[in-house]
């Protein structure tokens, strides 16, 4: 399962790339707004959306989802075409509804990769895949919030796409923690898109911390017995 970073913060992307665990990036209007607010609060220059996408492309060798905000089919097609012209790595995000479905078909026929977002049902995912979407993004955490099992939807979408040999890939989105990530991996999601904080949580386990400290304590004790300088 590939890992995408779900963020607009360049420093988070730089760190994930340095760790070797960033295969792509997903953005949306909310993430861009948060990045703009943080840049302003830090006294720096807030980036325009196009500049942000291009800066991300300098950091990441992989797909970068940039979301459309238009609401009619023709406007979505025009906006998607513009976004895709920014960089060859750009994948356009289009929400699933009637206007979105028509735009997905038309944009995909132009050879532009589409990530269909705000997927909350198997039927929505199937329609997007049949319209030509390169990716569908079921929102796991938001389904959990209303009492559904979001990971079960991921599993269903993966199974149906595989059964009918559809090339669309599943991006498990709205993941809230390591257990979501683990379950989506077991469900067969092609990609998980994660907030940076979730990647940090995936690194941690109390037994790992305890084991490291025990190893260091034993090492220092052995070095002291040998009369060597301790490490750390």
Is residue 204 flagged as an active site residue?
Answer: no
Any bridge partners for residue 173, and if so which? 139
Instruction: Take residue 106 and report the two structure tokens written for it.
Output: 């038309």
Locate 168 and state its tokens. 């669309």
Cite the DSSP H helix spans in 110-205: 122-131, 140-145, 150-163, 178-187, 196-203
Which residue in the block uniquely carries the two structure tokens 């895709």?
84
Cβ atoms of 38 and 12 within 8 Å: the answer is no
10 Å Cβ neighbour count for 99? 18
- Strand-pairing partners, residue 117, are 95
DSSP 20: T
Indicate the SS3 state at residue 43.
coil
Marked catalytic residue, from 9, 32, 52, 93: 93
Using DSSP's 3-state secondary structure scheme, residue 89 falls into coil
Q: Given phi > 0 = left and psi -120 to 50 = alpha, else beta, which region is 132?
A: left
Give the whole-angstrom CA distance, residue 199 versus residue 181: 9
CA distance 207 to 211: 6
In the three-class reduction of DSSP (H, G, I as helix; E, B as strand; rest coil), residue 213 is classed as: helix
Catalytic residues: 93
């Amino acid at each position: 399962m590939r890992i995408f970073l779900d963020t607009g913060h360049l420093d988070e992307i730089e760190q994930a790339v340095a760790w070797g665990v960033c295969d792509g990036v997903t953005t949306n209007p909310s993430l861009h707004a948060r990045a703009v607010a943080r840049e302003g609060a830090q006294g720096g220059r807030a980036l325009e959306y196009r500049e942000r996408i291009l800066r991300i492309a300098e950091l990441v060798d992989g797909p970068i989802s940039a979301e459309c905000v238009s609401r009619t089919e023709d406007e979505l097609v025009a906006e998607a075409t513009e976004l895709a012209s920014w960089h060859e790595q750009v994948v356009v995000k289009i929400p699933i509804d009637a206007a979105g479905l028509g735009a997905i078909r038309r944009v995909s026929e132009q050879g532009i990769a589409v990530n269909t977002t705000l997927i909350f049902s198997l039927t929505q995912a199937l329609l997007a895949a049949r319209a030509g979407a390169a990716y569908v993004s079921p929102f796991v955490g938001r389904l959990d919030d209303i009492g559904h099992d979001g990971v079960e939807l991921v599993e269903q979408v993966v199974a149906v796409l595989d059964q009918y040999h559809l090339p669309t890939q599943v991006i498990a989105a709205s993941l809230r923690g390591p257990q979501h990530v683990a379950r989506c991996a077991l469900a067969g999601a092609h990609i998980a898109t994660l907030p940076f904080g979730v990647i940090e949580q995936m690194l941690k386990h109390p037994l790992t911390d305890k084991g490291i400290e025990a190893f260091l304590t034993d090492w220092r004790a052995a070095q002291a017995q040998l009369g060597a300088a301790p490490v750390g």
